[in-house]
Amino acid sequence: MSQADIGGAVIDEGLLDLLQQERSKALSAREWKFRLAGFGYGIKDVNGARIVTKLPQGTEIGVLPSNLG
């Protein structure tokens, strides 16, 4: 599993595994985002990049790998 990097913040391997597992369970991107919100994470689009955030503050964690889009 690769790591994403945004401004020095790295998405750890455990979170990337969670993102991938939840994406495989979800039937749509909308459902996936809803499932992630249950774990306290969100995804937002910034200048064409999808950013993983920590809810509810919206703190940016890192760039979502392209294979999870």
> How does pLDDT run across 32-47, given as a tens digit for each residue?
999 999 999 999 988 8
- The whole model's pTM is what? 0.80
The Cα 49–Cα 54 span in angstroms is 16
The pair of structure tokens assigned to 46 is 């910034």
Res. 13 pLDDT band, cuts 50 70 90: very high
Q: Which residue has the tokens 């499932």?
A: 35
Higher pLDDT pick, 7 / 45 = 45
